[in-house]
Amino acid sequence: MTLKKMPLLFGGDYNPEQWPEATWEDDLIQLQRAHINSLTLNVFSWALLQPDEATYDFTMLDKIMALAGRYDMQIVLATATGALPAWLVAKYPDVARTDINGRHARQGMRHNACPSSPNFQRLAKALAGQLAARYHDDPALACWHISNEYGGQCYCDNCAAAFRTWLQAHYTDLAAVNAAWNSNFWGHTFHAWSEILPPMHLTDMIDAGTDKPVLAGAALDYRRFQSDAMLANFKAEKAAIRAVDATTPITTNLMSTQKDLDYFQWAKEMDLVSWDNYPSFDTPASETAMKHDLMAGVLQKPFMLMEQTPSQQNWQPYCALKKPGEMRMLSYQAVAHGANTVQFFQMKQSQNGIEKFHGAVISHVQATGQHETRVYREVKQLGAELAQLPEDLLASANHAQVAVLFDWPSFWGVEYATGPSRQMDYVKQVHLYYQMCYDRGIDVAVIGKDTPFDGFAAVIAPVMYTASEQLSAKITDYVQNGGTFVTTYMSGIVDDHDNVYLGGYPGSLQEVLGLWNEEFDALPPDTTINVALGAGKTCSASFLCDVTHPTTAQVLATYDDPQLFYTGAPAICQNDLGEGHALYVGTQLDAAGLETLFGHIAQAAGLDLTGARPFAGVEVTHRYSAAHTYTFAVNTTAEAKRVANPAPAGVDLLTGGTPGKELALAPFGVAILQTAR
């Protein structure tokens, strides 16, 4: 499902309810002058729309919708259920959440509803239905936006009861739950369903000091249950909309690598993925790229860039301004990775409230119309450029030779595990291998366990802690049919319930990898060991070291450190199986080691590296339509760059010129080269 109207949506969150009505039209005039063509409305207006349970009042929203329509704005209409009205919590305290320590909220900031509250479920659905009935045939409506940034957890009694129901649906009986969780450990055996409570600090099932669970199986199931419960909230509102509106796309704004929700499950229920991109001043460009690719990957489709700040974000420790050109660069980087919209939080900076120092198109300074700001001018210039882009670009999509696997159960499981290392950071680990590819100038897809692997020359699965027997079979199949599969330490260790596979790590992956691991060693921070990479080359390794025994795999690198009792054991192995190859990395390699590893992967997978160039701050990615290849060259740095043109035959859509052999990019400069396919 695509957005109702074209071209590319350029706009974002606008909260006129915070301002006198007399100011709205001025805002719209200023926004339209900056080529803003879309507004996200009504995100936090529940308390205004429904002053009490019996009364709905759409007077203000009607006016805003009508005015926005008059200014040709395409509206992303939120269902306003992301923040609970005070009366609602007072009347039905169960709509609020209970935290991990058992404290039940009396009111709350926002994103604060208990997903299992029958009153929340009923009233949120009713509000979505009211909005849909009222606005579904408004010609300005482009997309529905349900709630806002779902996430967090609730541990209340309603959630406890719903958790038991969830368990009953997923397990045949209580004995199966006890078995899956190995609950005889430390005497947690359950004899009645009612004994099962949410794993939390208060129930002593999650250690308050470390946040590590006693029974990881229980904690993992609780995460699955909470993700499903919030998804059920989303689906209920979606159904209420669908009852009157069969066609307008429905989304909710995701947050990429956030931990709480398994977005591969969520995406199945979404017409369009949208997400909020808030890199910090020190976030590497590769990390932002990976997050975009994950958001393109959960639904295997172009996505909406629902939010980014035009300049500073005040909730980060330092409100660094985006430098001149940086917002434009980040916008094009998103488009390069599959964004079909460029949207901001926010259109107008609030005068008071927790976000008063957050960036906006119309800042405090510009609110009276006296001054035009740098940020406004940059938005305006970008809007003019985006309006010129061909519609064919929006019909294009990314395609990569290499995929990196991201998996929420592994994320949860490996970070819940007590041991082997407190330094374990799942997202960082995935990023390390994503960056290994990114730095070599190739496009990378980010996929899930259920995404088909064929079509990718190589699939890299870092720290794939949780692996079912079916997944191992899928991997074996992929390799046998010519794929190159790569995995690392702390992969294939446990089943879906966090039970360790017996008989050698990594369980059922031993055969495809042609090896087994006997032990894993954790190195203290700042400790490195030497690795011999072959051909006289060496590198250093850190973090974790597997003690590996190859069976059919050949050894490509070994630990080379006389201090270590396992010196000489393999650090990198490759197993050739059927038409394909499986590589295993037993330790965290430094940059030199990753370069060698990438070389082995490229060779095994037969990667086409023509046109790929080592990353030097200029990111090169591609989108393909039936007729054209779009090559994006994005200078992610504040320095001017001269690089070999990755598409010398291309026409730069931003200048209309043909730059030829060399590309000169200004600080944060961008070129979009269109070539015929």
Measure the CA–CA gap between 536 and 546, rounded to whole angstroms.
22
Which strand (E) or helix (H) includes residue 12? strand 9-13
**CA proximity to 607, closest of 324, 322, 400, 336:** 400
**CA proximity to 217, closest of 499, 512, 4, 425:** 499
Smallest distance from ligand GLA to CB 110, Å: 8
Measure the CA–CA gap between 467 and 454, rounded to whole angstroms.
19
Residue whose CB is less far from ligand GLA, 185 or 315: 315
Residue 278 touching ligand GLA (CB under 6 A):
yes
Residue whose CB is less far from Zn ion, 233 or 308: 233
Which listed residue (3, 64, 132, 154) binds Zn ion by CB under 5 A? 154
Q: Are 233 and 111 in contact (CB under 8 A)?
A: no
**380: helix, coil or strand?**
helix
Cα 172 to chain centroid, rounded: 33
Instruction: State the binding partner of 149 from Zn ion, ligand GLA, none, CB within 5 to 8 A by kind.
Output: ligand GLA
Smallest distance from ligand GLA to CB 313, Å: 5
Residue whose CB is less far from Zn ion, 114 or 206: 114
Measure the CA–CA gap between 490 and 506, rounded to whole angstroms.
8
Measure the CA–CA gap between 329 and 588, rounded to whole angstroms.
32
Smallest distance from ligand GLA to CB 355, Å: 6
Residue whose CB is less far from ligand GLA, 42 or 621: 42
Measure the CA–CA gap between 77 and 73, rounded to whole angstroms.
11
Residue 256 touching ligand GLA (CB under 6 A):
no
Measure the CA–CA gap between 367 and 31, rounded to whole angstroms.
11
Window contacting ligand GLA (CB under 6 A); options: 188-196, 264-272, 307-315, 427-435: 307-315
**213: helix, coil or strand?**
strand
Residue 281 touching ligand GLA (CB under 6 A):
no
Smallest distance from ligand GLA to CB 290, Å: 19
Cα 6 to chain centroid, rounded: 25
Per-residue contact string for residues 342-371; x = within reach of ligand GLA by CB under 6 A? ---x---------x--x-------------
Residue 79 touching ligand GLA (CB under 6 A):
no
**For ligand GLA, how many residues bind (rule: CB under 6 A)?**
12
Residue 124 touching Zn ion (CB under 5 A):
no
Smallest distance from ligand GLA to CB 277, Å: 9
Residue 14 touching ligand GLA (CB under 6 A):
no
Smallest distance from ligand GLA to CB 15, Å: 9
Strands across the sheet with 38-41, in order?
Answer: 250-251, 141-145, 74-78, 38-41, 9-13, 339-344, 303-307, 274-276, 253-254
Instruction: State the binding partner of 498 from ligand GLA, Zn ion, none, CB within 5 to 8 A by kind.
Output: none
Type of residue numbered 606: G
Window contacting ligand GLA (CB under 6 A); options: 130-138, 309-317, 599-607, 651-659: 309-317
Per-residue contact string for residues 156-175; x = within reach of Zn ion by CB under 5 A? x-xx----------------
Number of DSSP helices (H) and strands (E) in the chain, helices first: 18, 26
Count of all residues that appear for the chain in the document: 677
Which listed residue (42, 112, 116, 346) binds Zn ion by CB under 5 A? 116
Question: Tokens at residue 240, please?
Answer: 């209420």
Residue 313 touching ligand GLA (CB under 6 A):
yes
The closest residue (CB) to ligand GLA is 276
Smallest distance from ligand GLA to CB 477, Å: 40
Question: Tokens at residue 229, please?
Answer: 């419960």
- Verify whether residue 619 is a known catalytic residue: no
Using the CB atoms, write b or e for 415-443: b if 16+ within 10 Å: bbbeebbeebebbebbbbbbbbbbbbbbb
Instruction: State the binding partner of 154 from Zn ion, ligand GLA, none, CB within 5 to 8 A by kind.
Output: Zn ion
Type of residue numbered 475: I
Which strand (E) or helix (H) includes residue 521? strand 515-522
Instruction: State the binding partner of 159 from ligand GLA, Zn ion, none, CB within 5 to 8 A by kind.
Output: Zn ion
- Verify whether residue 149 is a known catalytic residue: yes
Q: Give the count of alpha carbons within 13 A of 317, CB side only.
A: 2
Q: Say which residues have a Cβ less than 8 Å from residue 246's Cβ, sequence separation at least 6.
A: none
Question: Tokens at residue 217, please?
Answer: 């199986």
Residue ranges of alpha helices (H) inside 243-360 are 263-267, 285-297, 326-336
- Site for ligand GLA, residues 136 to 195, rule: CB under 6 A: 148-149
Measure the CA–CA gap between 631 and 621, rounded to whole angstroms.
6
Which listed residue (221, 228, 262, 276) binds ligand GLA by CB under 6 A? 276
Window contacting Zn ion (CB under 5 A); options: 21-29, 108-116, 381-389, 601-609: 108-116
Which listed residue (27, 228, 293, 307) binds ligand GLA by CB under 6 A? 307
**For Zn ion, how many residues bind (rule: CB under 5 A)?**
6
Which listed residue (9, 39, 114, 430) binds Zn ion by CB under 5 A? 114
Instruction: State the binding partner of 276 from Zn ion, ligand GLA, none, CB within 5 to 8 A by kind.
Output: ligand GLA
Question: Tokens at residue 85, please?
Answer: 């009205």
Instruction: State the binding partner of 156 from Zn ion, ligand GLA, none, CB within 5 to 8 A by kind.
Output: Zn ion
**CA proximity to 458, closest of 443, 439, 441, 473:** 443
Smallest distance from ligand GLA to CB 468, Å: 34
Residue whose CB is less far from ligand GLA, 13 or 521: 13
Return the active site residues: 149, 307
Q: What residue ranges bind Zn ion (CB under 5 A)? A: 114, 116, 154, 156, 158-159
Residue numbers of the site for ligand GLA (CB under 6 A)?
148-149, 253, 276, 278, 307, 309, 313, 315, 345, 355, 358
